[in-house]
């Protein structure tokens, strides 16, 4: 029976495991530092108290309760030997498979912005969302007790990055301060609250269609969000940020949605990483020179590929099982 080790149960790893578990001759070990899969598109709603954390996290064990050939293991993979397809976890456990699927995801990229790693609030994990949620609620209570904090920027929220996460978060914060919280904190003057969305790019949702960009811009304006484009954040301090044009904004909450890079596991694989510390893969998502090793999701940089190209390959019977696995991996990605 083929043993497949999958690192992380995010979108790529989870869907890969679900697809491959349909093969009766496959045994899967899914390793994740959390025992849940976090639905990242909803994290901004957790951070702004629209949803509870439980609405954005789903038990991995429950997902695979009817898949006898999938074994979920709690552990953080910190290094790997790609030649032997062996994984090492932070708590000293070792896992080795016939096939290895690296789907370790990404981490926030502060782009070496001074103070960002210490004072900004990223929004990539469920824990990030819970920390930001706690920060916002703590500030609201502080201002309710001491209204003079408003003049010090306590109700100003700076969101760095006008991609999907930043745009959604800014819009939700605007809705909170302009509408939702007025009946909850009746003594606060939210007319002095500001939500500022900042990005060096000259449009919101740069990777989306022009129609989506126009719609998002209109909705942000409707919800009272100030959009500053073509300017970046140069420094992040506990009570203010400095922009690249030299101006400053008073704020006690800087939310970082400015970009991602591959998880730190990519630096512990003994291979050269590409842009954003991501692993360069071949058209079938395999890692060159390491048979049986694949990289998926945010951990990899993939060239253009098509499943039909893979089907046209002529392999010996001993290698045909690898092609079946590869195509299953590709199909799992298509469903993301």
Distance CA 297, CA 295 (A): 7
CB 48 within 8 A of CB 26: no
Is 235 one of the annotated active-site residues of the chain?
no
Per-residue b or e along 3-27, where b marks 16 or more CB atoms closer than 10 Å to that residue's CB:
bbbbbbbbbbbbbbbbbbbebeebb
Return the number of other C-beta atoms located less than 10 Å from residue 178's C-beta. Answer: 17
CB 64 within 8 A of CB 17: yes
Closest-CA residue to 67 (of 16, 111, 140):
16
Pairing between strand 120-122 and 36-38? unpaired
CB 104 within 8 A of CB 8: yes
Of the candidates 168, 218, 226, 235, the residue annotated as catalytic is 168
Dihedral of CA atoms 120, 170, 241, 106 in degrees, nearest 10, equals 30
Phi-psi map region of 131: left, alpha, beta (phi>0 left; psi -120 to 50 alpha): alpha
Residue with tokens 């590929």: 305
Residues classed as catalytic? 168
């Amino acid at each position: 029976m083929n043993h497949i080790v999958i690192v992380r149960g995010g979108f790529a790893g989870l869907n890969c495991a679900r697809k491959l578990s349909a093969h009766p001759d496959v045994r899967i070990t899914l390793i994740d530092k959390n025992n849940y899969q976090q639905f990242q598109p909803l994290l901004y709603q957790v951070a702004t108290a629209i949803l509870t954390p439980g609405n954005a996290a789903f038990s991995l064990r429950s997902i695979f309760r009817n898949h006898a050939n999938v074994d979920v293991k709690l552990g953080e993979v910190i290094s790997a030997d790609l030649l032997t397809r062996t994984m090492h976890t932070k708590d000293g456990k070792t896992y080795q498979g016939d096939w290895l699927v690296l789907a370790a995801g990404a981490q926030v990229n502060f782009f070496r912005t001074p103070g960002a790693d210490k004072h900004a609030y990223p929004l990539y994990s469920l824990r990030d969302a819970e920390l930001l949620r706690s920060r916002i609620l703590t500030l609201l209570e502080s201002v309710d007790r001491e209204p003079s904090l408003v003049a010090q920027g306590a109700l100003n929220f700076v969101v760095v990055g006008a991609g999907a996460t930043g745009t959604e978060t800014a819009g939700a914060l605007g809705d909170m301060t302009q509408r939702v919280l007025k009946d909850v904190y009746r003594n606060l003057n939210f007319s002095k609250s500001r939500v500022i969305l900042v990005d060096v790019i000259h449009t919101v949702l740069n990777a989306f269609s022009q129609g989506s960009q126009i719609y998002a811009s209109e909705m942000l304006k409707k919800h009272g969000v100030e959009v500053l484009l073509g300017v970046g954040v140069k420094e992040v301090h506990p009570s203010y940020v400095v922009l690249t044009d030299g101006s400053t904004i008073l704020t006690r909450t800087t939310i970082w949605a400015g970009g991602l890079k591959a998880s730190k596991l990519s630096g512990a694989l003994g291979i050269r990483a590409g842009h954003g510390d991501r692993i360069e893969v071949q058209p079938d998502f395999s890692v060159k020179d390491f048979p049986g090793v694949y990289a998926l999701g945010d951990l990899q940089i993939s060239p253009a590929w098509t499943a039909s190209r893979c089907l046209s390959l002529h392999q010996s019977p001993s290698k045909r099982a690898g092609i079946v696995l590869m195509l299953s991996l590709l199909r799992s990605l298509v469903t993301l």
